[in-house]
Amino acid sequence: VDRWQIVRFEAPCTVAIDVGVAPAGSGALPKDGGDRSQGVNGYVLNTITPETDGTCLYFWAFARNYSLGEQRLTHQLREGVATIFREDELVLEAQQKAIDEHPDHKFYNLNIDAGAMWARRLIDRMVDAERGGSTVIPIRRVG
């Protein structure tokens, strides 16, 4: 199959993921024209908003464009996605606990963190602009 996963960040708090598959060579990939008419898509929406200094509200949704009348599949997908997001929640809670327990610890980002680092810099710029600051944080597109 040809597979795609397109992640789009909408500042300040939403990530939309377009993921899907189509028969190999069908032209579904962006480099081949992006004709996904023979494929299936799933769409994941994540919106995160602060609640307190150490907590946030995390909303998510999943939609698809195939087998829309199959309630059993809807249930299976919802439960599967919920399980994945619960795993994410546990990791995020552990990260917050580590931050709370070691407030002066310097954390290191890995290459895989490039997208999140870019998003953080963009949010920092937005916050700075709201405060009337003039700090310039360069944003560099990765990839």
**Of 89, 67, 52, whose CA–CA distance to 76 is shortest?**
67
pLDDT of 102 over the 50 cut: yes
In a domain? residue 140: no
**What integer pLDDT is reported at residue 8 of this predicted model?**
93
In a domain? residue 77: yes
In a domain? residue 54: yes
pLDDT of 116 over the 80 cut: yes
Higher pLDDT, 141 or 23: 23
Residue 115, amino acid:
G
Structural domain boundaries, residue 90: 2-131
In a domain? residue 84: yes
In a domain? residue 143: no
- Residue 79 binned pLDDT confidence (cut-offs 50, 70, 90): very high
Tokens representing residue 9 in the block: 């960040």
pLDDT of 133 over the 90 cut: no
Q: Is the pTM of this model over 0.95?
A: no
In a domain? residue 10: yes
Tokens representing residue 141 in the block: 């597109």
Overall number of domains in the chain: 1
In a domain? residue 6: yes
